[in-house]
Amino acid sequence: MKPADILYNHNLKRTSCREGIIEVIMSADRALSENEIRKRLKVNYDRTTFYRSFKTLEEHKIIHRIVVDNQTVKYALDNSITNKKEHAHFYCNDCQEVQCLESAVIRKMQLPAGYTEEETEILIRGTCSLCKRN
């Protein structure tokens, strides 16, 4: 599906900022930070516009954020677009890149009585195969 179609399906106006963000995220093989996405866009958008676009796309479940730490947020396409299952994410302490681990499907954990789960996030920190070799 093309970025424009995704926006249309979610009743969102087709603006170049939104379309660009989706396009960049779609073409990446890993999660990207706000700055990485900005660099890959042709046009330079205002910070405000950028934040609001991310917010909108997140609210409509087109993209989802992966919080690595309180200073680093990365974005990837949402499962509803990619048809992936809920999966764990891997953060490489070396190259600091985030990857979706499609094979690491998230299993619900047993909770204390009275607790209900809505979402489970798993972030595995370690070293990726590329960095391991060096």
Partner DNA sequence: ATTTCAAATGCAACTTTGTTGCAAATATAG
Partner DNA sequence: CTATATTTGCAACAAAGTTGCATTTGAAAT
Binding footprint of a second copy on the chain (CB under 8 A): 67, 69-73, 88, 90, 93, 101, 103-104, 109-130, 132-133
The three-class DSSP label of residue 84 is coil
Closest distance of CB 2 from a second copy, Å: 30
Residue 17 touches which of DNA, a second copy, none (Cβ within 5-8 Å per kind)? DNA
Residue 56 touches which of DNA, a second copy, none (Cβ within 5-8 Å per kind)? DNA
- The Cα–Cα gap between 16 and 66 comes to 24
Closest distance of CB 45 from a second copy, Å: 20
- The Cα–Cα gap between 6 and 28 comes to 17
CB of 17 or CB of 100, closer to DNA: 17
115: Cβ contacts below 8 Å, ≥ 6 apart:
none
CB of 72 or CB of 101, closer to DNA: 72
- The Cα–Cα gap between 18 and 29 comes to 19
Residue 26 touches which of a second copy, DNA, none (Cβ within 5-8 Å per kind)? none
Based on its alpha-carbon atoms, the radius of gyration of the chain, rounded to whole angstroms, reads 16
